[in-house]
C-alpha cells in the first residue's frame, strides 16, 4: 500500500499543476493588496461576515481602514466551517464587491423601433413594473403560476415573499441538479438526510472512500482541511475517479473506474465485506433491517464480475474492501454532494449508505457523527395563504422522494406544449443561472421565450439577466445583511453576516428588494419592520443573544443537547418504517422501486465520441467567480483534459484550440485549449464547469453589461449536455450520459446551433 502511495505521488509530481491539496493557498488572511504596506490589525476595524462565494458559507471578518476601505477578509477562528481559514475563493471574495462589471442599476426591457432593448430604470419604476406583472399573472392564471428558482442566502427572502403572496411553486438547481438524490438515498436507508456541512467525522477516521468526490478541487473548506490532516496522519484514502484528481494524487488507492459503472464496484465491495466476514456483525444485528436479503442479493456481484464492468482489477477490489473492513467502524464512504450523475443516483447513493451501515460507521467516531443544529425562533407573521397547487403537485406524484421542487419539471410546465392545469407563466430567478445549471439549454430558452414575465435578481450580468424583463441588481454579500447562518455541526452554532460597506452603485440588498415588492403587493402585515436588522435582533434576543453580541463575536456556539455518536445499547431509533437502518427499503418495496440496489448498464460511449466529464476548479465557484478580478487573476483559462491516446488520434497538441460537438449535433459556441494528460481515462475528456459565458446586455443608451474578463472563454459543459437521465425516485437529473467529439477546425456559423 505504501508502495502505491509513493507511485501516486510520483505521478502527481509529473502532472505538476493539478496537485494542490497542500494548504498554502488557504493561508490565513492573504491580502490582495500586494503593493501596499501591510497594515497592523489595530489600525483596522473588523465586521462580521459570512462568505457568499460558495454555499459553504464560512464565517469570517472583514477588515477596513479609517477610510472605510476593505483591506482583507479572513476566517473567524471559532467558525467550524472554516476553522479560521478561508479558501482562496473566500479570500478573494472582495472581488465580488470591486468588480467593475457588476450590475449597477435596475434595468427594464422595452421595445424601441420594433426592437427589444434594455433601459436604465429607477427602483420605483422597476418595482412597480414587477408588481404590475405579478398581479397580471395572478389575475389571468393564479398566483401559483409565478415560479421561483433560487440559490444562496438571497433565496429565502424571495421564497418567503412568494409564500406570503400565495405561490409555493419553487425549485433550485442546487437540489434537483445536485444533492437531492444523495439525500433521498440516505433518507431511504437511515430515515435522515445528511444536509450541510455533511457530518463526516474525517478528523477521527482511518479510511476515507471518495466516489468521484474530488475534495481539494471541490473546495468544501472545513472538509478539505480535514482531508489534508488525514493525509498528514497517513490515513487511507481510496479514490474512485476516472480522472487522476488532486485528491487521487494523495490517496493510498486510486481506482480509475470506467465512468458510469460505480454501482458494480459498490455491490462487489459489499459482496467481499459480507463473504469475508469483514462487516460489523454486532452493529448490523443491533441496528439494521434486511441483512439476509442483502447477503443473498450480492452473491452474484463478485469482484470478478465487477472487473469486467468497471475495468478495475478484481484484486484491487478485494484489497480495498479489506482496507475498509479493517478500519471499520472508523471508515467513511463519503456520500458526495453533486450526485445527479446517471439517472440511478438514489440507488447508487443507497449502495454507499448500505456500505456505511455494514461497516458500522453511521453514528460512530471516525464515521458519521450526529450533527446538531440550533433552533432560532422564526420572526412571527400572519398565517401564510394556502396555494391551490405547489411544486409538490408537479413533482411528487411522479417521484415519491422529490422532497423539493424539480427545476426541469417546472420548466416543462412553462412550455407552450404543456396543456395541463399547473401552468407556469412567469418566473423569478434569484441568484441562480439556469442556463449554466439546468439541462437542457434549448428547452430553457424556449420556456424563457414563452414566459409572460421574467425577473432576474443578480449581482452580475450572467446569462439569465439577458432573458429578463426586469433586472434587479443586488448588493454583494459584503454590502448587505442576510438571515443568521444556522448550521449543523458537532457544536450547534450561529453566525452573522453584517454589511461591511455601503452598497455600491444603485444596488440594494435582497431583503430590501423582497420587502419593497411585498409592501407594493399589500403584504404589509408580513413586513411589520423597516430594517431587516430588527428581525435578526428580535430572533437573537429570544435566545439570549443580540445583534450587539453577534457583531462582536461573529459566531456563537451553543451546548449540544444530544449525544454525538450512537448509544451502543442498540436502543437508537431510526426514522424508518422498521425503526432500523433499512438495508432493504420497505418504502421502495411499497412504491415499486428496487428495494435493494441493482446494477444497470448505462450503455457505451458511441463510436467516434468521448464521455464528457465535468467538475470544479479549486479557484472558482461555478461561473459566479470567473469575472472576479482577484480570482480571474489566479485562473482565467480553462483547459480540456485529453488523454495522449486521443491526442494522437485527433492529432492534438498541448494548448491547441478545439471545439466540441455532441451526438445531437450541438456544437460549442466557443473554443477551449487542450491539456494532454495521462490523468484522464482514454474514453473520456474533462471539462471544468462554469465557463463559456454568454451573458451580455446592451442598453438603448449603449451601456454595455458583460463579464468582460470571462465572456466567451472556454466551453460551457451545460451547453453540451442535452441528454438528461431522470432519477425515478427523486426526479434529479443525471448529467453524465453525455458525449462529445473534438473538432479541430472552427465550426461554420451554420454548424453552431445557438
Ligand X SMILES: Nc1nc2c(c(=O)[nH]1)N[C@H]1C(S)=C(S)[C@@H](COP(=O)(O)OP(=O)(O)OC[C@H]3O[C@@H](n4cnc5c(=O)[nH]c(N)nc54)[C@H](O)[C@@H]3O)O[C@H]1N2
Binding site for ligand X (CB under 6 A): 52, 54-55, 151-152, 154, 173-174, 177-178, 211-214, 218-220, 240-243, 245, 257, 259-260, 262, 336-338, 430-433, 437, 457-460, 462, 464, 474, 476-477, 613-616, 618, 620-622, 624, 689, 717-718, 721, 735-736
Long-range own/partner contacts, residues 418-425 (CB < 8 A, 24 or more apart): 421/389, 422/144, 422/169, 422/389, 422/393, 422/394, 423/141, 423/145, 424/145, 424/146, 424/147, 424/169, 424/451, 425/137, 425/140, 425/141, 425/145, 425/146, 425/451, 425/452, 425/453
Q: What is the CA radius of gyration of the chain?
A: 25
690 makes contact with ligand SF4 (CB under 6 A)? no
89 makes contact with ligand SF4 (CB under 6 A)? yes
Q: Which does 689 bind (CB under 5 to 8 A by kind): Mo ion, ligand SF4, ligand X, none?
A: ligand X
Dist CA 435 CA 387 (whole Å)? 28
Nearest to ligand SF4 of 221, 328 (CB atom): 221
Is residue 669 within 8 A of residue 719, CB to CB? The reply is yes
We find the least distance from the C-beta atom of residue 438 to Mo ion, in angstroms, to be 12
Listed ranges 195-203, 251-259, 330-338, 513-521: which one lies at the site for Mo ion (CB under 5 A): 330-338
178 makes contact with Mo ion (CB under 5 A)? yes
Nearest to Mo ion of 172, 572 (CB atom): 172
- Residues 10-69 touching ligand SF4, rule: CB under 6 A, are 51, 53-54, 56-58
219 makes contact with ligand SF4 (CB under 6 A)? yes
Cα torsion 281, 226, 574, 181: sign: negative
We find the least distance from the C-beta atom of residue 697 to ligand X, in angstroms, to be 13
We find the least distance from the C-beta atom of residue 173 to ligand X, in angstroms, to be 4
Cα torsion 134, 137, 143, 146: sign: negative
Listed ranges 33-41, 86-94, 320-328, 465-473: which one lies at the site for ligand SF4 (CB under 6 A): 86-94
Phi, psi of 502, deg, nearest 5 = -70, 150
Dist CA 175 CA 433 (whole Å)? 14
215 makes contact with ligand SF4 (CB under 6 A)? no
Helices vs. strands in the chain: H and E counts, helices first: 25, 29
Dist CA 313 CA 657 (whole Å)? 36
485 makes contact with ligand SF4 (CB under 6 A)? no
**How does DSSP assign 457-513, residue by residue?**
EESS--GGGGG-SEEEEBPPGGG---PPEEE-BSS-EEE----SSPPPTT-B-HHHH
431 makes contact with Mo ion (CB under 5 A)? no
Nearest to Mo ion of 338, 709 (CB atom): 338
3-state secondary structure of 340: coil
- Helices 262-275 and 303-310 cross at an angle (nearest 10°) of 170
We find the least distance from the C-beta atom of residue 79 to ligand SF4, in angstroms, to be 9
Nearest to ligand X of 166, 509 (CB atom): 509
Nearest to ligand SF4 of 86, 174 (CB atom): 86
Is residue 405 within 8 A of residue 395, CB to CB? The reply is yes
Is residue 241 within 8 A of residue 254, CB to CB? The reply is yes
Q: Which does 86 bind (CB under 5 to 8 A by kind): ligand SF4, Mo ion, ligand X, none?
A: ligand SF4
We find the least distance from the C-beta atom of residue 628 to ligand X, in angstroms, to be 10
Phi, psi of 673, deg, nearest 5 = -85, 150
Please state the length of the chain.
Answer: 754
We find the least distance from the C-beta atom of residue 229 to ligand SF4, in angstroms, to be 16
Nearest to ligand X of 169, 260 (CB atom): 260
3-state secondary structure of 706: strand
We find the least distance from the C-beta atom of residue 85 to ligand SF4, in angstroms, to be 8
86 makes contact with ligand SF4 (CB under 6 A)? yes
Is residue 501 within 8 A of residue 478, CB to CB? The reply is yes
We find the least distance from the C-beta atom of residue 55 to ligand SF4, in angstroms, to be 7
Q: Which does 477 bind (CB under 5 to 8 A by kind): ligand SF4, Mo ion, ligand X, none?
A: ligand X
Nearest to ligand SF4 of 90, 492 (CB atom): 90
Listed ranges 156-164, 319-327, 334-342, 378-386: which one lies at the site for Mo ion (CB under 5 A): 334-342
Cell numbers found for residue 29: 488572511
Dist CA 209 CA 317 (whole Å)? 13
Nearest to Mo ion of 334, 338 (CB atom): 338
According to DSSP, the β-strands at 672-676 and 107-112 are: unpaired
What is the contact mask toward Mo ion in residues 338 to 377, using x (rule: CB under 5 A)? x---------------------------------------
Q: Which does 593 bind (CB under 5 to 8 A by kind): ligand SF4, Mo ion, ligand X, none?
A: none
We find the least distance from the C-beta atom of residue 220 to ligand SF4, in angstroms, to be 6
Nearest to ligand SF4 of 76, 205 (CB atom): 76
Q: Which does 58 bind (CB under 5 to 8 A by kind): ligand SF4, ligand X, Mo ion, none?
A: ligand SF4
Nearest to ligand X of 433, 643 (CB atom): 433
Nearest to ligand SF4 of 58, 444 (CB atom): 58
Nearest to ligand SF4 of 211, 219 (CB atom): 219
Q: Which does 260 bind (CB under 5 to 8 A by kind): Mo ion, ligand SF4, ligand X, none?
A: ligand X
Nearest to ligand SF4 of 365, 635 (CB atom): 635
Phi, psi of 78, deg, nearest 5 = -95, 15
Q: Work out the widest C-alpha separation in the chain, in whole angstroms.
A: 77
221 makes contact with ligand SF4 (CB under 6 A)? yes
Dist CA 506 CA 474 (whole Å)? 9
We find the least distance from the C-beta atom of residue 198 to ligand SF4, in angstroms, to be 13
Q: Which does 177 bind (CB under 5 to 8 A by kind): ligand SF4, Mo ion, ligand X, none?
A: ligand X
Dist CA 729 CA 188 (whole Å)? 10
Is residue 377 within 8 A of residue 637, CB to CB? The reply is no
Q: Which does 262 bind (CB under 5 to 8 A by kind): Mo ion, ligand X, ligand SF4, none?
A: ligand X
Dist CA 323 CA 251 (whole Å)? 13
Q: Which residue is nearest to ligand SF4 (CB)?
A: 90
Long-range own/partner contacts, residues 646-654 (CB < 8 A, 24 or more apart): 646/610, 646/682, 646/685, 646/742, 647/674, 647/676, 650/742, 650/744, 651/744, 652/676, 652/742, 652/744
Nearest to Mo ion of 178, 612 (CB atom): 178
Nearest to ligand SF4 of 74, 161 (CB atom): 74
DSSP state of 208: E
Dihedral-angle region of residue 522 (phi above 0 means left; psi in -120 to 50 means alpha; beta otherwise):
left
Q: Which does 580 bind (CB under 5 to 8 A by kind): Mo ion, ligand X, ligand SF4, none?
A: none
The contacts of residue 293 (CB under 8 Å, 6+ apart) are 583, 584, 595, 596
Q: Which does 599 bind (CB under 5 to 8 A by kind): Mo ion, ligand X, ligand SF4, none?
A: none
Q: Which does 212 bind (CB under 5 to 8 A by kind): ligand X, Mo ion, ligand SF4, none?
A: ligand X
Nearest to ligand SF4 of 219, 680 (CB atom): 219
We find the least distance from the C-beta atom of residue 340 to Mo ion, in angstroms, to be 9
Give the interface size with ligand SF4 as a residue count (CB under 6 A).
13
Q: Closest Cα partner for 381 from 167, 219, 164?
A: 164
Q: List residues binding ligand SF4 (CB under 6 A).
A: 51, 53-54, 56-58, 82, 86-87, 89-90, 219, 221
Q: List residues binding Mo ion (CB under 5 A).
A: 178, 338
Amino acid at each position: 500500500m505504501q508502495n502505491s502511495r509513493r507511485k501516486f505521488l510520483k505521478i502527481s509530481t509529473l502532472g505538476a499543476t493539478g496537485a494542490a491539496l497542500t494548504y498554502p493557498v488557504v493561508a490565513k488572511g492573504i491580502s490582495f493588496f500586494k503593493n501596499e504596506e501591510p497594515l497592523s490589525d489595530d489600525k483596522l476595524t473588523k465586521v462580521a461576515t459570512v462568505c457568499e462565494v460558495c454555499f459553504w458559507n464560512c464565517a469570517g471578518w472583514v477588515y477596513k481602514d479609517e477610510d472605510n476601505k476593505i483591506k482583507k477578509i479572513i476566517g473567524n477562528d471559532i467558525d467550524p466551517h472554516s476553522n479560521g481559514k478561508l479558501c482562496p475563493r473566500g479570500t478573494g471574495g472582495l472581488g465580488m464587491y470591486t468588480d467593475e462589471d457588476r450590475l449597477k442599476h435596475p434595468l427594464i426591457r422595452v421595445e424601441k423601433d420594433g426592437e427589444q432593448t434594455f433601459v436604465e430604470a429607477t427602483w420605483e419604476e422597476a418595482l412597480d413594473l414587477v408588481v404590475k406583472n405579478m398581479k397580471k399573472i395572478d389575475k389571468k392564471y393564479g398566483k401559483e403560476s409565478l415560479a421561483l428558482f433560487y440559490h444562496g442566502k438571497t433565496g429565502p427572502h424571495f421564497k418567503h415573499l412568494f409564500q406570503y403572496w400565495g405561490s409555493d411553486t419553487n425549485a433550485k438547481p442546487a437540489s434537483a441538479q445536485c444533492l437531492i438524490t444523495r439525500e433521498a438515498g440516505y433518507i431511504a436507508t437511515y430515515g435522515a438526510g445528511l444536509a450541510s456541512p455533511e457530518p463526516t467525522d474525517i478528523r477521527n477516521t482511518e479510511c476515507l472512500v471518495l466516489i468521484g468526490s474530488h475534495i481539494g478541487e471541490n473546495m468544501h473548506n472545513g472538509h478539505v482541511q480535514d482531508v489534508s490532516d488525514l493525509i498528514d496522519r497517513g490515513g487511507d484514502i481510496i479514490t474512485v475517479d476516472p480522472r487522476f484528481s488532486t485528491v487521487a494524487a494523495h490517496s493510498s488507492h486510486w481506482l480509475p473506474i470506467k465512468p458510469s459503472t460505480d454501482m458494480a464496484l459498490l455491490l462487489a465491495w459489499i459482496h467481499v465485506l459480507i463473504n469475508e466476514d469483514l462487516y460489523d456483525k454486532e452493529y448490523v444485528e443491533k441496528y439494521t433491517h434486511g441483512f439476509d436479503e442483502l447477503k443473498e442479493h450480492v452473491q452474484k456481484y463478485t469482484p470478478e464480475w465487477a472487473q469486467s464492468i468497471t475495468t478495475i482489477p478484481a484484486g484491487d477490489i478485494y484489497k480495498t474492501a479489506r482496507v475498509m473492513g479493517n478500519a471499520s467502524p472508523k471508515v467513511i464512504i463519503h456520500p458526495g454532494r453533486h450526485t445527479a450523475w446517471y439517472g440511478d443516483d438514489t440507488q447508487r447513493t443507497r449502495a454507499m449508505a448500505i456500505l456505511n451501515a455494514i461497516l458500522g460507521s453511521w453514528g460512530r467516531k471516525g464515521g458519521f457523527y450526529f450533527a446538531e443544529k440550533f433552533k432560532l425562533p422564526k420572526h412571527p407573521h400572519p398565517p401564510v395563504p394556502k396555494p391551490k397547487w405547489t411544486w409538490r403537485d408537479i413533482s411528487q406524484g411522479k417521484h415519491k422522494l422529490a422532497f423539493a421542487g424539480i427545476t426541469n419539471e417546472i420548466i416543462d410546465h412553462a412550455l407552450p406544449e404543456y396543456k395541463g392545469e399547473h401552468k407556469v407563466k412567469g418566473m423569478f430567478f434569484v441568484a441562480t443561472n439556469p442556463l449554466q445549471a439546468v439541462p437542457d439549454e434549448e428547452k430553457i430558452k424556449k420556456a424563457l421565450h414563452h414566459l409572460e414575465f421574467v425577473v432576474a435578481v443578480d449581482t452580475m450580468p450572467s446569462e439569465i439577466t439577458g432573458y429578463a424583463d426586469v433586472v434587479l441588481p443586488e448588493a454583494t454579500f459584503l454590502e448587505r445583511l442576510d438571515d443568521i447562518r444556522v448550521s449543523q455541526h458537532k457544536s450547534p452554532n450561529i453566525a452573522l453576516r453584517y454589511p461591511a460597506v455601503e452598497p455600491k452603485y444603485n444596488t440594494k440588498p435582497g431583503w430590501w428588494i423582497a420587502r419593497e415588492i411585498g409592501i407594493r403587493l399589500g403584504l404589509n402585515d408580513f413586513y411589520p419592520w423597516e430594517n431587516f436588522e430588527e428581525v435578526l435582533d428580535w430572533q437573537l434576543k429570544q435566545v439570549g443573544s443580540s445583534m450587539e453580541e453577534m457583531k462582536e463575536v461573529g459566531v456563537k456556539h451553543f451546548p449540544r443537547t444530544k449525544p454525538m455518536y450512537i448509544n451502543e445499547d442498540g436502543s437508537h431509533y431510526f426514522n424508518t418504517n422498521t425503526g432500523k437502518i433499512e438495508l432493504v427499503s420497505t418504502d421502495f418495496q411499497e412504491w415499486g422501486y428496487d428495494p435493494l440496489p441493482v446494477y444497470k448498464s448505462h450503455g457505451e460511449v458511441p463510436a467516434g465520441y468521448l464521455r464528457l466529464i465535468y467538475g470544479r476548479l479549486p479557484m472558482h465557484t461555478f461561473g459566479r467567480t470567473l469575472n472576479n478580478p482577484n480570482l480571474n487573476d489566479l485562473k482565467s483559462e480553462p483547459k480540456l483534459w485529453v488523454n495522449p491516446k486521443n491526442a494522437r488520434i485527433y492529432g492534438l497538441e498541448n494548448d491547441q484550440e478545439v471545439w466540441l460537438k455532441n451526438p445531437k449535433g450541438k456544437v460549442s459556441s466557443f473554443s477551449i485549449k487542450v491539456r494532454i494528460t495521462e490523468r484522464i481515462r482514454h474514453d473520456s475528456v474533462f471539462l471544468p464547469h462554469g465557463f463559456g459565458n454568454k451573458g451580455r446586455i446592451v442598453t438603448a443608451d449603449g451601456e454595455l453589461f458583460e463579464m468582460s474578463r470571462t465572456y466567451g472563454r472556454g466551453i460551457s459543459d451545460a451547453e453540451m449536455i442535452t441528454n438528461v437521465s431522470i432519477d425515478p425516485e427523486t426526479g434529479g437529473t443525471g448529467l453524465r450520459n453525455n458525449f462529445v467529439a473534438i473538432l479541430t477546425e472552427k465550426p461554420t456559423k451554420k454548424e453552431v446551433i445557438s
